[in-house]
């Protein structure tokens, strides 16, 4: 009797572990300086969990605003600071990001999301 219960639990474990696609993580670091982002072209796949780090290696404060279908997301970092945001990669497409501070208009980039 006991081995039957063990077999059922084992079968359940096998079935449950196969459920759902594994969540992929994409870690991206964008370095901000005066007045650019590097890299300014970044990539992710649809459904990835994106961890985007803004690493400020400049002498001024910077921010990074990315225009996603779910709304604009923003992080900011003073000089020497790293800031991180996480979001699920949206449907395939290109999504602009930029620094909104006055005089920082040259700081722009694009996230390209493609099918895995
Ligand atoms: Cu800036």
Q: Ligand 1 mean position to 116 CA, how many Å?
A: 32
5: CA distance to ligand 1 center in Å?
61
- Across the range 5-9, mean pLDDT stands at 53
Q: Is residue 85 part of a domain?
A: yes
Q: Which residues fall within 8 angstroms of residue 82, CB to CB, at 6 or more apart? A: 53, 54, 55, 56
* 65 has a pLDDT exceeding 90: yes
Question: How does pLDDT run across 40-57, given as a tens digit for each residue?
Answer: 999 999 999 999 999 999
65 within a domain of the structure (yes/no): yes
How far does the centroid of ligand 1 lie from the alpha carbon of residue 111, in Å?
Answer: 17
User: From ligand 1's centre to the CA of 80, what distance in Å?
Assistant: 13
List pLDDT tens digits, range 66-76: 999 999 999 99
State the first-to-last Cα distance of the chain, in angstroms, to the nearest integer.
46
11 within some domain: no
Give the domain extent around 50.
Answer: 23-114
- CATH of residue 88's domain is 2.60.40.420
For residue 40, how far is its CA from the centre of ligand 1 (angstroms)? 13
The string of pLDDT tens digits covering residues 13-27 is 544 455 566 689 999
Which pLDDT value is given to residue 21? 63
Looking at the DSSP bridge assignments, the partners of residue 25 are 49
Of the chain, the percentage scoring pLDDT greater than 90 comes to 80
Q: What is the mean pLDDT of the chain?
A: 89
**pTM here?**
0.81
Q: Which two tokens stand for residue 83?
A: 């800031």
In angstroms, what is the span from residue 79 Cα to ligand 1's centroid?
10
- Please determine, for residue 97, whether its predicted confidence score (pLDDT) is greater than 60: yes
């Amino acid at each position: 009797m006991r081995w039957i219960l063990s077999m059922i639990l084992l079968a359940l474990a096998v079935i449950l572990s196969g459920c759902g696609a594994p969540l992929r993580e994409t870690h991206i670091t964008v370095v901000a300086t005066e007045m650019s982002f590097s890299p300014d072209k970044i990539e992710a796949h649809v459904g990835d969990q994106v961890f985007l780090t803004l690493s400020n290696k400049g002498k001024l404060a910077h921010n990074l605003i990315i225009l996603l279908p779910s709304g604009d997301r923003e992080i900011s970092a003073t000089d020497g600071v790293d800031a991180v945001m996480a979001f699920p990669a949206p449907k395939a497409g290109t999504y602009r990001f930029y620094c909104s501070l006055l005089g920082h208009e040259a700081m722009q980039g694009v996230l390209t999301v493609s099918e895995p």
